[in-house]
Chains A and B, each alone.
Chain A
Amino acid sequence: EAGVVQSPRYKIIEKKQPVAFWCNPISGHNTLYWYLQNLGQGPELLIRYENEEAVDDSQLPKDRFSAERLKGVDSTLKIQPAELGDSAVYLCASSVGLAPGEQYFGPGTRLTVT
């Protein structure tokens, strides 16, 4: 069975440019999470979807970040415009329902903003 797929794996952009990340969760997983992870830190939740509904986006900086999961399957996270401090690894994870201890993570997208 395929795991969580993310693309791109690496992205280098200049500040003020837009960037988008894509995630395809494990088939049948209705809950999808986007996390941000800085070096030496644990993942920090940005947004959680249950099917198409964003049920927790309290930590998403809405002035520049947006996310969508239109058909309840794959999801896109966008940053516009990017800032230097956005350099981090963006992780996508999925689970069956609210199974917080059984999240499966994708390999992440490593973003560098110059």
Chain B
Amino acid sequence: RKEVEQDPGPFNVPEGATVAFNCTYSNSASQSFFWYRQDCRKEPKLLMSVYSSGNEDGRFTAQLNRASQYISLLIRDSKLSDSATYLCVVNSFMDTGRRALTFGSGTRLQVQP
């Protein structure tokens, strides 16, 4: 089982739709969580951190469910410019005491006019 798993998609949605992605992680000792966005042939960029109580940034809402070990990203009122790959990132402490930052494979979103 992969440490961080995402549905690769693509999720094809019309403009204005609400879409949600989930990301599951296997290490129960994971400390912090993030969503990055990556446009085609570009570098990843931080979209938002995920806080235990859930957090919102405009049309984007991130949530964490530690009991079930997943995080989610909800996008409301989708725009064409939201088309991208969304990468789930999990920061964990390993047995060695070192931190490990693990990226999921990403979920591709295509918003259609």
Interfacial residues, chain A to chain B (CB-CB below 8 A): 40-45, 55-56, 91, 98, 100-103, 105-108
Q: Pick the interface stretch among B43-51, B63-71, B72-80.
A: B43-51
Pairwise interchain contact A42-B101, C-beta atoms closer than 8 A: no
Minimal beta-carbon separation of A4 from chain B (angstroms): 8
The residue in chain B whose Cβ has the minimal distance to the Cβ of A41 is B105
Chain A CB within 8 A of B89 CB: yes
* 21 pairs of residues in contact across A and B, judged by CB atoms under 8 Å: A40-B8, A42-B103, A42-B104, A42-B106, A43-B44, A44-B103, A45-B101, A56-B99, A56-B100, A91-B43, A91-B44, A100-B34, A100-B99, A100-B101, A101-B34, A101-B46, A101-B49, A101-B89, A101-B91, A103-B101, A107-B43
Task: Using A100-B34, A100-B99 as known contacts, say yes or no to A42 and B87 having CB atoms under 8 A apart.
Answer: yes
- Interface residue SS majority, chain B: strand
List 4 A-B pairs, minimum CB-CB distance, nearest first: A42-B103, A105-B43, A101-B34, A100-B91
Complex Cα distance, B103 from A108, in Å, reads: 16
Residue from B101, B104, B105, B106 with most neighbouring chain A CB atoms (10 Å): B101
With contacts A101-B49, A101-B89, A108-B43 taken as known, whether A40 is within 8 angstroms of B100 at the C-beta atoms is no
- With contact pairs A40-B105, A42-B105, A100-B34 given, residues A56 and B98 touching in the complex (Cβ less than 8 Å): yes
